[in-house]
Amino acid sequence: MALYSEKVMDHFRNPRNVGVIENADGVGEVGNPVCGDIMKIYLKINDEQIIEDVKFETFGCGSAIASSSMATELIMGKPVSEALQLTNKAVTEALDGLPAHKLHCSVLAEEAIKSAVKNYYDNNGIEYDPKDFPDPEVESCHMH
Ligand code: FES
């Protein structure tokens, strides 16, 4: 069996929504201290709290790029509250799986989105439940 699914290869080769949103309503950046990979998410959010646009920059491995690309597709056009529910498991499933030692790369995508939403809430004085934003706990990358 191939190590990476067709979808992972597709999103790695042709990542969707790469770039920067100037004047974004929420920006989140997370990094994995061990492998050094960094992921940044930009959100454009309208008055109805719908994500109108999302872009990402990922300085990281192929799985991290594919995960962020898929994650942006999954939250585009969705309410912020729904984006907050996005788990790395959902991202991995949408990619038809990742090798076990690459699962932590999809965790970066989940955390980057959460951190961007938190930034949006903070910027706009919107109250939230701190339980929705646990301290990032990125597993270390043992293998690349
Ligand atoms: Fe570190 Fe993928 S995010 S190896």
Q: Hey, where are the domains in the chain?
A: 6-123
Q: Which residues surround ligand 1 with Cβ inside 6 Å?
A: 32, 35, 37, 60-61, 63-64, 105, 108, 141, 144
* 125, two tokens: 């004085």
CATH architecture of the domain with residue range 6-123: Alpha-Beta Complex (3.90)
pLDDT tens for residues 88-138?
999 999 999 999 999 999 999 999 999 999 999 999 999 998 888 876 555
Q: How far does residue 119's CA lie from ligand 1's centre (Å)?
A: 24
Ligand 1 centroid vs 125 CA: distance in angstroms?
Answer: 33
- Flag whether the ipTM exceeds 0.95: yes
In this structure, are residues 84 and 132 in contact, taking their beta carbons and an 8 Å threshold? yes
Whether 66 and 12 have beta carbons less than 8 Å apart is answered as: yes
Residue of 63, 92, 98, 107 to test ligand 1 pocket, by largest number of atoms within 8 Å of CB? 63
Q: Residue 116 is inside which H or E element, if any? A: helix 103-124
Q: What is the pLDDT of residues 21-69, one digit of tens each?
A: 999 999 999 998 778 999 999 999 999 999 999 999 999 999 999 999 9
